Structure 1
Amino acid sequence: MTLNAPVRPPDQELFAEMGKFVDDLAQAGVLIATGGLAMEGTHVSSSGGKVTVVDGPYPETKETIVSFALVEVASKDEAVALSQRFFGIVGDGEGDLRQVFGPE
């Protein structure tokens, strides 16, 4: 979510709408996990055999990831539809969809 974007302040209505959304995903059997992420973190990069570690928060960063949802859906279109529903609840912001690879 972009930090400088207008964000809907949390209120009881937002909590209720998000609760229903999460419950609907769980009932549909697609929700694997959700959670919030700390603003602080550690960035690790490697270049030319040298590993660099930088502790955050990162004031020069204009965007940060503040939460995640891990869902198992059949297609990218289904993931996009869930994202549209999510932003219909919370309002303005940004997100990324990423495929997770792992054991099957």
Structure 2
Amino acid sequence: MRHMVLIRLDPAKTPDGGPDEQLIADMNTLIEEMTKAGVLLDTAGLRPTEEGTRIRQTGGKQTVIDGPFTESKEYIGGYCLLQTRSNAEAAEWASRFLRVHGPEWDIEVEVRQLDDQG
């Protein structure tokens, strides 16, 4: 089973300066463990919303909106693509990812199984 883990952040509730050196070291350790376990297929942080583009389609008409997206209270800050045996295993890896961040981070992940049909 493949799962996409979407990492959601509220920019108003993230520590000043972003991740510190300890978080980066702990995250690298977790990524190494996930890689050795064969569950991590890919992961990355995303560039700031100021550099993004949204394309919205309503009634067949498309509108292009360049970032930053000021109306957003949260954004997707990164992702992990996992290969696991179950939904519960994917949720456990995602939970471990959250724990690495510690109490100073207000962060959420959404774990979604990929629809591998077709």
TM-score (norm 1): 0.85
What is the number of residues matched between the two proteins? 104
Identify, as 1 or 2, the structure richer in strand: 2
Question: 1: distance between equivalents of 2:19 and 2:54?
Answer: 29
- Is the partner of 1:97 in helix, strand or coil? strand
Question: 2: distance between equivalents of 1:86 and 1:53?
Answer: 33
**Per-residue deviation, 1:65:** 1.0
TM-score (norm 2): 0.76
Give ranges in structure 1 of 5+ residues lacking alignment.
Answer: none
Match of 2:101 among 81, 90, 99: 90
1:4 aligns with 2:12: yes
Give % identity. 37
Q: Which runs of 4+ in 1 moved over 4 A?
A: none
The farther-off stretch of 22-31 and 93-102 is 93-102
**Per-residue deviation, 1:50:** 0.9
Give CA-to-partner distance per residue, 1:46-79, whole Å, 9 cap, x none: 1211112111111121101111111111222111
Give ranges in structure 2 of 5+ residues lacking alignment.
Answer: 1-8
Query: Does structure 2 conserve the Cα–Cα contact (< 8 Å) formed by 1:32 and 1:70?
Result: yes
Query: Does structure 2 conserve the Cα–Cα contact (< 8 Å) formed by 1:7 and 1:90?
Result: no
Question: 1: distance between equivalents of 2:10 and 2:108?
Answer: 6
Q: Which residue identity lines up with residue 28 of structure 1 in the other structure?
A: A
Question: 2: distance between equivalents of 1:38 and 1:12?
Answer: 19
- Is the partner of 1:62 in helix, strand or coil? coil
**Per-residue deviation, 1:98:** 2.1
Query: Which fold has the larger relative contact order, with Cα–Cα distance below 8 Å and residues 6 or more apart in sequence?
Result: 2
1:17 aligns with 2:26: yes
